[in-house]
Structure 1
Amino acid sequence: MVSIVLILTLAFVLAVPLGVWIYRVIEGKVFWIQKQEDWILKHLNIGDAPMSWKRYLTCVLMVSAISFVVLYILLLIDGYRWDLAFNTAISFVTNTNWQPVDPAFTLSWWVWAFGLVVQMFLSAAVGMSVVFALIRGFTHAQDGTVGNFWKDLTGSILYVLLPINAAAAILLGVYGTPMNLNETTPSALMDPVAVSVEGKILPDAQIENGQVYQDGQIIENARIVDQQLVPGGLMAAVEAAKQSGTNGGGLTAANSASPLENPNGWSNLIENVLVLLIPMALCFSFGCAVRNRKQGIALFLSMAVLFAIGLACCLGAEYSTMNMLGKESRFGIGSSSLWAVSTTAASSGSSNLSMNGLTPLGSLIPMILMQVGEVVFGGVGTGLIGMIGFVILTVFIAGLMVGRTPEFLSKKIEPAEMKNSVILCICAPVCILVGSAIGSLLPPSGLDAGAHGFSQILYAWSSMGANNGSAMSGFMADGMLMNILGGVLMAVARFVPLAGALAIAGSLSAKKQIPASAGTLATDTPLFSLLLVIIVLLIGALSFFPALALGPLAQFFG
C-alpha cells in the first residue's frame, strides 16, 4: 500500500507544474520557445497562421495517413503479413499499440527506431494538439479559429515529450532497464533443457553426458538447449516513450511484467508515474488556458473520484482472495492492481501483470474504465477531450433541470455542440459493442470455455475500440478478422472523436462570450463534479451492463 500512495502522490505533485509548463509551451507563453518554433516553421516553409477547425482536422488526418503508409511499408519490408502490418500500423498511429504477436523476435530494431517509436511521439503529440484546439474554442471569441496545428505539434514533441522521455530513459537505465545497441544477447541457462525435433520441451527428460534419456531410453535426435537469447537494444528509451505517451506497446510479449522492461520496484514506480503524468497534468493545463484554475481542479477531482472508485474495487477483489495468479512476485497484489487500473484509466495498455489472471470482479474494473471511453485521465489529450464531451452533456442535462439554456465557460451550448458531444461519448461504446458482437459470432481459437471466454472477447474488443492496447492472454489474437476489423475500429475510435472535438471547437470559437449571470450554472463546484461522475457512470452502465453480465459478472456468480 505504501507504493500505491507513493506513486499517486508523486504523479500528482509532478502533474501540477507540468500542466502549467504544457500550457505555457503550447500557448506560446515562453519567448525563447516561441522564437525557435517560428524559426523551425519558417525554414520548413510552413505557415503559422491560425486555422479553421476543418483545416486543422485536414492536417491531423494528413499526418496520420502519411504515418500509416510509411509504417505499413516498413512492417511489410520486415516480413509482416499484409493484414498483420495493417493492424499494427493503425494500432501505433492511433495510440492504441495493440500487438497480436511477440514483438521481441518479430521486429527489427530499425523498424522500432524509425517506425514504432516515431509514432509513439507523433500519436501522443497529435492528441495533445487537438485538446488545445478544443480549449481554444472556449477562449476565442467570434474568430472561428482553433490555433495552428504545426505549432502545436512542434511544441508538444520538442518541449514536452522529448524532455520527459530523456529524463525517464536515463532513470530507467540507471535502475536496470537495458540501453544498448544489441538486438539480442546470448545467455547461458542455469539448467539445460531437452527439446524434441519439433522444438517442444521434453518435461520428463534427463540429460547425462550429452545424451537425452526418457524412462531410461535414449531419445534420438533430441537437442540440448543450454543458451537463451535475451532481448536488448534501446529498451529504456522505448519504455519511456511507451509510458509517457500512453502508448503501451512493449518490446516483449510480457510487456512491463518482463524483468528487462521493468526490472524492480523503482522502475515500476517510474513507469507507473509516467502512465498517469501527462493525462493528469492536462487537467491543470485546461484550468490555466481557460483562465479559471478551479475548472481544471474540478475536472481533475471528477477523474480522481472515478479512479479511486475503480482502484478500491479492484484492490478489494484481488485482496479478498489474495489472488497472485498472473502477478509478478516483485510487485505483489497492490502495485499490480494499481497498474491494471492506471493502464486502462489512462489509455496506456502497458501491463506489469497478466490481465487474464485477475479475479472476475478485478477484471470488471479495467473493462469499465475502457468502456466509458477512457476519460478517467485517459490518453494524452484524448482523455480530456472525452471528459469535456461529458461535461457538455452534463451541462445540457443540468440546464434542462433548471430551465435555462446550457452554458459552459461563457459559451452557449447549442444543438451543434450537443450532436458532436454525443459522438464523442458514444463512439467508443459503439465500436466496442460492434466488435464484441462480431467477435462472439466468429470467436478466435484458444478461448477459455464459458463466461471467461466471453470476457476475453469483450476485453479484447474493448481494448481496440477504446484505443487501449492491453489484452487478456490465452487466445489466438493474430487472426484475419481481428487484424482487419480491429484495425478499422481502432481508426474509427480515434479519428471520429477527434473530428467531433474539432467541430465543437470551431463552432464555439465563432460564438461571442456571454457574461455570467445569477442563473449561470457553476461548473467548478464539488456538486457539479459529482453530477459529472454520475453521468459518466450512467452512460457506461447503460451501454455495457448486459455485456458485463454475460462476462465477468456471470463468471463471478457462477
Structure 2
Amino acid sequence: MQASDWLQFALFLGLLTLITKPMGLYLMQVLDSNGRTWLDPVVRPVEKLTYKILGVDPQREQGWKQYTFSMLAFSLTGALFTYAILRLQHLLPWNPQDLPGLSHHLAFNTAVSFTTNTNWQSYGGEATLSYFSQVVGLTFHNFVSAAVGIGIAAALVRGISDRKTSFPTRSTVDRVFQPGETSSKTRSTVGNFWTDLVRVTYYLLLPVCVALAIFLVSQGMIQNFDAYTHAKTLEGAEQIITQGPMASQVAIKMLGTNGGGFVNANAAHPFENPTPLSNLIQMLSIFAIGSGLTYYLGRMVKNQGHGWAVWAAMMIMFVGGVLVCAHYEAAGNPIHQQLGITNVDRVFQPGHEDQTSSQTHPTGNMEGKEVRFGLFNSSLFATVTTAASCGAVNSMHDSFTPIGGLVPLFMMELGEVVIGGVGAGLYGMLVFVILAVFIAGLMVGRTPEYLGKKIQAKEVKLAMLTLLVLTLSILGFTAWASVSAWGVAGLNNAGPHGFSEMLYAYSSATANNGSAFAGLTANTPWYNTTLGIAMLIGRFLMIVPIMAIAGSLAAKQAVPAGPGTFPVNGATFTILLIGTVLLIGALNFLPALALGPIVEHFLMGQGQLF
C-alpha cells in the first residue's frame, strides 16, 4: 500500500466514525413511535394517513410471533407483486426498449432476490428490465426490504433492553418462571412491525436518499426517462448508451445495502459511479446505517460502552479484511513476475525529452478492475460491500487473486456481521454476542447473563439454529451443484477456481449479499431456483429464530449485575466477541475454503492455473 492508500483508508474510517453517533441518535428518534424529528411538520401527516389507510393502530404493540407473521405476510405479498411485474413488463408502460417479460425462473429469482435484500442479478439490468420494472418493482423493495431489516434489529434490541419504546400501552403475558425468578407477569412485546416499516421508510430512507440522489446527479450520474441513445463509434459501429432513472435507484441501492445495479457493470460503470468522490460517498453510505445501529444499541440498553465494543469488534475484523485483500491484490500474480512482466514508470527529464529514466516494480493484479479506482479502492470497495451485505461492486471479484477473493467470500460466510446489512448486521452480531456471553459464563462457572438477563438453554439453542441454517444452506447447495451436471455446466473455470465460483454464489445468496464472482453462468432454471431458495432460507429462516430470541428475552426481568457478571464493554469483551465470530466461521467453512481459494493460492505460487 502506498501513502495515498493509507490516507484514503484513514479518511474513510474517520468519516465513518464521525457519522456513527449522529446516525445512532437519529435512529433513536425514528424507531421510537413518539420520537420527534425535524421532519415531523412535513412527514407526520403523511405517516398518520398511511396508518389510517392500512388500518393500523401504531400504538398497539405486538409479541414476537405477531411481529414475525406481519413481516412474513408483507414480504410474501411484495414478492408476488414484483414477480407479476417482471413477468408482464412487456404489457406495462415505461418500456422504451420493448423488452419482453422475464422467464418464470428468472422472475422468481429476481423477485425473491429484491424481497430478501439480496439483489442478486442473473441478468444485465439495462438489457433485461424496463424502467417500470426497475422503478416500481425493484426500487420499492430496495426501500422496504431495508426497512424490514432495521425493524427486526430494533425488535431484538427492544427484547434485550428494558427500555423498549415509549409506547403508552404495553401488553403483559402470564408465564411460569424458573426457580430464582420472582415475577409472575412480564412484558413480552417487541414493537409494532407496521410502525417500524412506515417510520424507517418515511423518516430515514426516503429523505436521505433524496439528498444522496441529488449529490450523485451533481457528480455526473444520469436521472431521466429518456430512450436509450444510439451513437456511432469511431470505427462506424453502433453503440447503445443506457439512459434511465439511475441516481434514484443507486442512492437506495447503497444506503439500504441492496446492491442491485441499474446496469450490468454495477458501480464500475461511469454512470453508476462517475468520480472518486462518488465512490467514497457510496462506500460510506453502505456502512452508515449499520454503523449507527451499534450506537443505537448502546443507547437502548443504557450501556454506551457495549455499543462501542460491538462497533470496535466489527471495525477490527473489517480493517483486517481490507489489509489482507489489498496486500494480495497489490502483490499481483507470481506467474507474471516469473515471466518478467512488470510495471514500467518512465520519467521524462526536463529539457531532454529524448532521455528518460525508468523504474520497474512488480505488477499488481489489475485484471477486472476499473483503472479510475485502482487496486486499493477496488479492494476497499470489495471488502465494504461483502462485509455489509450490499452486493454492489466496482470490480469483478472473479478476477481477484485467490486470497484477495477469499476475503469477500469469508466476510459473507461469517454471516455478514462486520457492519452487515442494514439491521441484519446488528441482529446477526447479537447472535454471536449471546454465544460469546454463554462461553464466558462457562469459563467462570455461573449462569451467563447479558445486560442483566440470563442466557439459558433456549436462547443458546436458537442462536445455534440461526448459524446452522446459514452453514447448511451454503455448504449443502454448493455440494449439490458441484456434483450435478447443471451446476458444473455453469462454470467458466475448472478446478478450485470453479469450485470457488459455486461456493461464492451460494454464500452470496444465503448471506443476502448479491455480489458474484462473475465467472458463473447462473441464468438457468436450476441455478435461478436453487439460488432463490437459498435467499429465502438466508433471510427468513434466520429471522424466525432471532425473533424467538427477542421474545424470550423480552419476557425476562433484568437482574442487577453482580461481582461475577461478565462485563460486555471494554477490550476483553471485544476480543472474546471477535474470537467467537472467527472461530465459528473457520470451523464451519475452512474445509470448503481449503478446496477453493486456499489450494488455488498454493497452485498459483507453483505456476499452475486452471
TM-based fold match above 0.5: yes
Greater mean deviation of Cα atoms: 380-389 or 425-434:
425-434
The 1:512–1:38 alpha-carbon spacing in structure 2 relative to 1, beyond 3 Å, is farther
For 1:81, the equivalent position in structure 2 comes to 103
d(CA) in 1 for partners of 2:541, 2:54: 29
d(CA) in 1 for partners of 2:489, 2:255: 32
Shift of 1:482: 1.0
Q: 1:350 aligns with which of 381, 385, 392?
A: 392
Shift of 1:15: 2.3
Q: Does 1:159 align with 2:203?
A: yes
Q: 1:111 aligns with which of 105, 130, 133?
A: 133
Shift of 1:503: 0.6
Shift of 1:105: 1.1
3-state SS of the aligned residue for 2:235?
strand
Q: 1:456 aligns with which of 498, 501, 508?
A: 501
Amino acid at match of 2:79: F
Shift of 1:183: 4.2
**Residues 444 and 479 of structure 1 are in contact (CA less than 8 Å); yes or no, is this contact kept in structure 2?**
no
3-state SS of the aligned residue for 2:62?
coil
Cα root mean square deviation, aligned = 1.4
d(CA) in 2 for partners of 1:183, 1:422: 51
For 2:226, the equivalent position in structure 1 comes to 182
Shift of 1:489: 1.1
Q: 2:594 aligns with which of 544, 549, 553?
A: 549
d(CA) in 1 for partners of 2:397, 2:417: 20
Amino acid at match of 2:467: C
Shift of 1:445: 2.8
**Residues 386 and 425 of structure 1 are in contact (CA less than 8 Å); yes or no, is this contact kept in structure 2?**
no
Q: Does 1:438 align with 2:497?
A: no
For 1:367, the equivalent position in structure 2 comes to 409
For 1:266, the equivalent position in structure 2 comes to 277
d(CA) in 2 for partners of 1:185, 1:22: 42
Greater mean deviation of Cα atoms: 3-12 or 101-110:
3-12
3-state SS of the aligned residue for 1:146?
strand
Shift of 1:128: 0.3
**Residues 491 and 501 of structure 2 are in contact (CA less than 8 Å); yes or no, is this contact kept in structure 1?**
no
Shift of 1:228: 1.4
Q: 2:156 aligns with which of 134, 152, 170?
A: 134
Q: Does 1:480 align with 2:525?
A: yes
Shift of 1:29: 5.1
d(CA) in 1 for partners of 2:574, 2:104: 46
Q: Does 1:10 align with 2:15?
A: yes
Q: 1:282 aligns with which of 275, 293, 305?
A: 293
Greater mean deviation of Cα atoms: 31-40 or 348-357:
31-40
Deviations 1:359-410 (A, max 9, x none): 0010011111000110000001011111000000010011001011011111
d(CA) in 2 for partners of 1:183, 1:541: 49
**Residues 162 and 301 of structure 2 are in contact (CA less than 8 Å); yes or no, is this contact kept in structure 1?**
no
**Residues 364 and 552 of structure 1 are in contact (CA less than 8 Å); yes or no, is this contact kept in structure 2?**
yes
**Residues 8 and 273 of structure 1 are in contact (CA less than 8 Å); yes or no, is this contact kept in structure 2?**
no
Q: Does 1:55 align with 2:60?
A: no
**Residues 435 and 465 of structure 1 are in contact (CA less than 8 Å); yes or no, is this contact kept in structure 2?**
no
Greater mean deviation of Cα atoms: 83-92 or 42-51:
42-51
Shift of 1:39: 5.3
Q: Does 1:41 align with 2:69?
A: no
**Residues 172 and 270 of structure 1 are in contact (CA less than 8 Å); yes or no, is this contact kept in structure 2?**
no
Q: Does 1:514 align with 2:556?
A: no
For 1:208, the equivalent position in structure 2 comes to none
Amino acid at match of 2:277: W
Give the 5 Å matches for 1:75-474. Answer: 75-78=86-89, 79-140=101-162, 142-192=186-236, 225=237, 227-321=238-332, 322-442=364-484, 443-474=488-519
Shift of 1:12: 2.3
**Residues 86 and 484 of structure 1 are in contact (CA less than 8 Å); yes or no, is this contact kept in structure 2?**
yes
**How many residues are treated as equivalent by the alignment?**
525
Shift of 1:42: 3.6
Greater mean deviation of Cα atoms: 354-363 or 33-42:
33-42
3-state SS of the aligned residue for 2:72?
helix
Amino acid at match of 1:72: Y
Shift of 1:425: 2.3
Shift of 1:417: 1.0
Shift of 1:444: 3.2
Shift of 1:234: 1.2
**Residues 444 and 475 of structure 1 are in contact (CA less than 8 Å); yes or no, is this contact kept in structure 2?**
no
**Residues 444 and 477 of structure 1 are in contact (CA less than 8 Å); yes or no, is this contact kept in structure 2?**
no
For 1:215, the equivalent position in structure 2 comes to none
d(CA) in 2 for partners of 1:552, 1:3: 28
d(CA) in 1 for partners of 2:461, 2:546: 11
Deviations 1:24-77 (A, max 9, x none): 210235336495545542453212201010000010001100001000011111
Amino acid at match of 1:85: A
The 1:162–1:74 alpha-carbon spacing in structure 2 relative to 1, beyond 3 Å, is same
Shift of 1:229: 1.4
Question: Could you list the runs of 5+ residues in structure 1 that have no partner in the other structure?
Answer: 193-224
3-state SS of the aligned residue for 1:263?
coil
d(CA) in 2 for partners of 1:35, 1:69: 30
d(CA) in 2 for partners of 1:476, 1:40: 43
Amino acid at match of 2:65: K
d(CA) in 1 for partners of 2:117, 2:227: 25
**Residues 53 and 502 of structure 1 are in contact (CA less than 8 Å); yes or no, is this contact kept in structure 2?**
yes
The 1:264–1:433 alpha-carbon spacing in structure 2 relative to 1, beyond 3 Å, is same
Deviations 1:121-140 (A, max 9, x none): 01000000011000111124
What's the TM-score once normalised by structure 2's chain length?
0.84
The 1:264–1:530 alpha-carbon spacing in structure 2 relative to 1, beyond 3 Å, is same
Shift of 1:430: 1.5
**Residues 254 and 282 of structure 2 are in contact (CA less than 8 Å); yes or no, is this contact kept in structure 1?**
yes
d(CA) in 1 for partners of 2:81, 2:55: 22
3-state SS of the aligned residue for 2:240?
strand
3-state SS of the aligned residue for 2:244?
coil
What's the TM-score once normalised by structure 1's chain length?
0.92
d(CA) in 1 for partners of 2:118, 2:71: 17
Give the 5 Å matches for 1:492-531. Answer: 492-531=537-576
Amino acid at match of 2:57: G
Deviations 1:277-328 (A, max 9, x none): 1111111111111121111101000000110111111111111121111111
3-state SS of the aligned residue for 2:519?
coil
Amino acid at match of 1:367: L
**Residues 411 and 512 of structure 1 are in contact (CA less than 8 Å); yes or no, is this contact kept in structure 2?**
yes
**Residues 28 and 35 of structure 2 are in contact (CA less than 8 Å); yes or no, is this contact kept in structure 1?**
no
**Residues 446 and 476 of structure 1 are in contact (CA less than 8 Å); yes or no, is this contact kept in structure 2?**
yes
d(CA) in 1 for partners of 2:235, 2:249: 31
**Residues 370 and 463 of structure 1 are in contact (CA less than 8 Å); yes or no, is this contact kept in structure 2?**
yes
Q: 2:585 aligns with which of 512, 519, 540?
A: 540
What percentage of aligned pairs have identical amino acids? 42
3-state SS of the aligned residue for 1:31?
coil
**Residues 67 and 193 of structure 2 are in contact (CA less than 8 Å); yes or no, is this contact kept in structure 1?**
yes
